[in-house]
Structure 1
């Protein structure tokens, strides 16, 4: 059962050694795809999504980033025929020039008319200061992913400057022995500024004091081991029998006393049974050291994370 469930933080990413096939793709000139649409920003109740289309015909591909709170990290999806590779092939993603790099195993996925899709959680345009890898640990109830951990930000959730974002102008994707694909994004300064405006508005919709949070002396912090709040035993039995898997993005409202007051599902692949299992477990087990404002006074805040329900 320990392999059924994996919990990944908002600033975490899956990391694994690349197979030789991906490395060999570096020697091939990339397929360069120019944008064929404008940026489209979707202001949802619990997330901010930015999408742009690249290439034409058989090379038509989509680039998507999504954020669920203010900060530097985001969920990334790139999908299209040029990314086709063997099932469960490794992938490598690199923003440039001089941006963040990610590599790891990719499970096959589709995104509407676009297939296949490469997805990564906890991505950055630029590697934040203090970003480092933690070693992998395991326990009987929950297998922890290798995590990427960063120092607390100077400004609430943000360490990467607009000047650094402005330099980033492309994303390169490598899969197995396939030809690398490069998306010519253009300067990311204005798109990321629009994304920040959207995530700031999210907090106000949630009833969070945005200005007080910009000056937090401490964010809401788990008081116990958060990797044990949702356990393999919480995997709905009926969904195990169906072989169902799912990803649940959630947010907990946290009171000034450190107690969770409400569980919100921000994004879920469903079935709905996963959503109910996550919230039931979190409201029963989650406990926090409350957020503190600039004067060190406890204030209402939130904490968010992702749960992956994965069959072995």
Structure 2
């Protein structure tokens, strides 16, 4: 019988092996997409290049690290990663999930957005995610990459209908977490029968009272039941402290989230 894990429910210990030190092998790249902004940079020589990226959620205190490496097929895993900046250990649990598809392993790690400040001021980041990632990266010119990322995020919110004038009115972003909202028994029976897994990226409209006014899937898992269940759960259970304007009044806004559904046997 299949069992399943959602997000990072299957905890694995970090390793004690020294990380592989990798230097940049290309320039920073900014990707403008309808769902999010990504900055990325390759590290190490081909054919074993590691792609390091950052994918923050607009108006969120969470940023997702992406580590993409060549890899044969392997099972999906999740747990808590050890993430260290040159300025020190990230002061929060860094949950990760890792899946292999089409010859590459994609590992995502969620960090508090405040960690970006430490990375911008430092000169290295070490990532140890169980046995799937163990690297030490030295991303130079990170401050310039972050500036480009911020510009991209502003343009993204504008494309969603939250124009720059409305953005300028926000003094503090909404506060809340999606961690733990999706439960094991939420996994749709049809998706289990179809052996379906994957990540769902979704946009949430956070109303001025903190409720969820709309949920739209922008990055499909490829399975309709997983996509639909994700938004149904978010609209039912998610709640935020709303964004606040400079006048002290609550404002509606958007944010972006992601849920990874994994089947294990």
TM normalised by structure 1 equals 0.65
Find 1:93's aligned residue among 76, 79, 83.
83
> Is the counterpart of residue 42 in structure 1 residue 31 in structure 2?
yes
Distance 2:113 2:20 in 1: 23
Distance 2:95 2:246 in 1: 41
Change (3 A) 1:260 1:169: same
Contact 2:78 2:95 in 1 (8 A): yes
Number of aligned residues: 258
Q: Which has the higher strand share?
A: 2
Structure 2 stretches of 5 or more lacking a match?
A: none
Contact 1:85 1:175 in 2 (8 A): no
Contact 1:14 1:120 in 2 (8 A): no
Deviation, structure 1 residue 294:
2.9
Distance 1:93 1:282 in 2: 28
> Is the counterpart of residue 241 in structure 1 residue 193 in structure 2?
yes
Distance 2:10 2:90 in 1: 13
> Is the counterpart of residue 171 in structure 1 residue 125 in structure 2?
yes
Find 1:198's aligned residue among 140, 152, 160.
152
Deviation, structure 1 residue 125:
7.2
Find 1:57's aligned residue among 28, 46, 53.
46
Contact 2:49 2:70 in 1 (8 A): yes
* RMSD (CA atoms): 4.1
Change (3 A) 1:310 1:96: same
Deviation, structure 1 residue 48:
0.4
Structure 1 stretches of 5 or more lacking a match?
A: 8-12, 127-159
Query: Where does 1:1-312 land on structure 2 (aligned, <5 Å)?
Result: 4=4, 6=6, 18=13, 22-23=15-16, 25-26=17-18, 30-70=19-59, 73-81=62-70, 88=77, 92-98=82-88, 100=90, 108-110=98-100, 115-122=104-111, 126=115, 161=117, 164-174=118-128, 180-208=134-162, 209-213=166-170, 215-216=171-172, 219=174, 227=180, 230-256=182-208, 258-284=210-236, 290-311=242-263
Deviation, structure 1 residue 40:
0.9
TM normalised by structure 2 equals 0.74
| Partner SS for 1:280 | helix
Deviation, structure 1 residue 89:
8.9
Deviation, structure 1 residue 282:
3.5
